[in-house]
Amino acid sequence: MRALVTGAAGFMGSHVAEWLAARGHEIVGLDDLSGGFEENLPAGVRFEKMSVLDPLDGLFASFKPEVVYHLAAYAAEGLSHHIPVFNYQNNLVGTANVLASAYRHGTRHFVFTSSIAAYGHPQGEGVFDEETPCRPCDPYGTAKHACELHLKTCLDYHGGPTYSIFRPHNVFGPRQNISDPYRNVVGIFIKKAMEGQPMPVFGDGKQTRSFSYISTVARCIAEAGLIPQAVNRTVNIGGDRTMSVHELALEISKAMGIQPSIQWLPARHEVVHAHASHKLAREMFPQAYAEEVSIPEGLKRMIDFTRERPVPAATECPSAIEIPDHLPPSWAARLGFGGR
C-alpha cells in the first residue's frame, strides 16, 4: 500500500508511520515541523517538509497515495480558546485541504485522528460511547467534530474517499513532545520532574482522564487503512483505566523514583471527567488490544526514553495569542499577559 501520513514527525504520526513502514508499506511522511521533530521520522519513510495548508496536488499527483492518515494538527485543547483563528485554520481548513487533494487524486480511504474533545460535555456525563452526541466545548473539539462531519459530507456528495474516524484521548509514550507547556500533561510532569521542579496541577487535581499508551492506539490507526471492518466507522481508542490528574502525578513520581512535588494552580475551564468506552475498538482491533501496555509499564518506557536524551528546551505555540482574556494565570505570566 502507498500511504501518506501527515504529522509523521510528531508523536502519534511517527508511531503510525513506523508500524506501516515496518510491514513493507510505502510511506511518505508530511510535516511542517511546527510541533514535531525530524528525528522522530522512522526509517524507511520519505519526508516532505510541507504544511497541510500548502497546495498538495503536486505531491498527490506524483505519489498517488491509496490511503491518507491525517494526524497533523496543533493539539492544545485548553489554549485553543485563545488561538481560535489559528486553530480553525490549521486543524479544520488544513484537513479540508488534505481531503480535497485526496479526493481529486483518487485516494481510496482517509483515516482521520479526531479526539475525545469532540464529545465535550463539560461536567462529564458517564462514559462516552460512539453514540454519545457531540457537544464540543472548546475550539479544538469543535474543529475536530467539524472535520468528522466534513469527511461524511464529502463521501455522501462526491462518493469518496471512505473514512475511518478515531477519537483517542490522553495518549503518551516515547517521542511525545514533552516541552510544550500547553499540552501533553504526562510529558509536562516528566519534564518538570527531570528539572527538579514541582508538577503543575490545575484546581484540586481530581479531574479524571484515561491515559493511553501509544502502541495500541498507533496500531489501531494504522490497521484502519487495511481492514474492511474500519470503513466508514467512528471509533474511540485508548485505555480504560481512569485516573485523576493528581494520581497521575503520584504515579509518575513513583515510576521516576522521586518524592512527589506538586505546584497547585487555580482551576481552569476544562472538562472535569473525560472517559470513553472501547468496546467497539476491542472488537474491531483485537490484536492491537491484546498487546495493550499498562500505565506503569508505559510510563517506565517513556521515562527511560526521555532520560536517554538531553532535556529539550521549551517549544512555543506556533501562533500568536489572539485572545489573551481568561488565560490561566500561569500561562498569562509566561506569555507576557500578566494583569489581564
Ligand X SMILES: NC(=O)c1ccc[n+]([C@@H]2O[C@H](COP(=O)([O-])OP(=O)(O)OC[C@H]3O[C@@H](n4cnc5c(N)ncnc54)[C@H](O)[C@@H]3O)[C@@H](O)[C@H]2O)c1
The question of whether 140 is a catalytic residue gets the answer: yes
Cell of 102: 485526496
Residue that is written with C-alpha cell 504544511 in the block: 51
Torsion sign, CA atoms 287, 165, 13, 181: negative
> Out of 87, 101, 107, 115, which residue is the one contacting ligand X (CB under 6 A)?
115
Q: How many residues bind ligand X (CB under 6 A)?
A: 29
| Calpha distance 139→159 (Å, rounded) | 29
How remote is the C-alpha of 340 from its chain's centroid?
A: 30
Measure the N-to-C terminal CA separation of the chain; round to a whole number of Å. Answer: 52
> Whole-number minimum distance, CB 184 to ligand X, in Å?
6
> Whole-number minimum distance, CB 159 to ligand X, in Å?
26
The residue annotated as part of the active site, out of 119, 140, 182, 289, is 140
73 binds ligand X (CB under 6 A): yes
| Calpha distance 257→243 (Å, rounded) | 20
| Calpha distance 274→117 (Å, rounded) | 8
Cell of 18: 513506523
Q: Is the peptide bond before 136 cis (omega within 30 degrees of 0)?
A: no
> Out of 4, 11, 208, 289, which residue is the one contacting ligand X (CB under 6 A)?
11
Cell of 62: 506524483
> Out of 142, 162, 164, 170, which residue is the one contacting ligand X (CB under 6 A)?
170
72 binds ligand X (CB under 6 A): yes
174 binds ligand X (CB under 6 A): no
Nearest to 180 by CA among 34, 47, 9: 34
> Whole-number minimum distance, CB 196 to ligand X, in Å?
25
How would you label 279-297 residue by residue, b for 16+ Cβ within 10 Å and e otherwise?
A: ebbbebbeebbeebbebee
Binding segment (CB under 6 A) for ligand X, from list 121-129, 163-171, 227-235, 243-251: 163-171
Binding segment (CB under 6 A) for ligand X, from list 72-80, 98-106, 263-271, 277-285: 72-80
> Whole-number minimum distance, CB 172 to ligand X, in Å?
7
Q: Under rule CB under 6 A, which residues in 29-48 are in contact with ligand X?
A: 31-36
> Whole-number minimum distance, CB 81 to ligand X, in Å?
16
Compute φ and ψ for 227, nearest 5 degrees.
-120, 135
Q: Under rule CB under 6 A, which residues in 210-269 are in contact with ligand X?
A: none
Nearest to 165 by CA among 227, 235, 242, 261: 235
53 binds ligand X (CB under 6 A): yes
Nearer to ligand X, 10 or 225 (CB): 10
Q: Which string of x and - marks every residue 116-155 that binds ligand X (by CB under 6 A)?
A: ----------------------------------------
75 binds ligand X (CB under 6 A): yes
Nearest to 182 by CA among 18, 330, 15, 13: 330
User: Where does this chain bind ligand X (CB under 6 A)?
Assistant: 7, 9-13, 31-36, 51-53, 71-75, 90, 94, 113, 115, 168-171, 177
Catalytic residues: 140
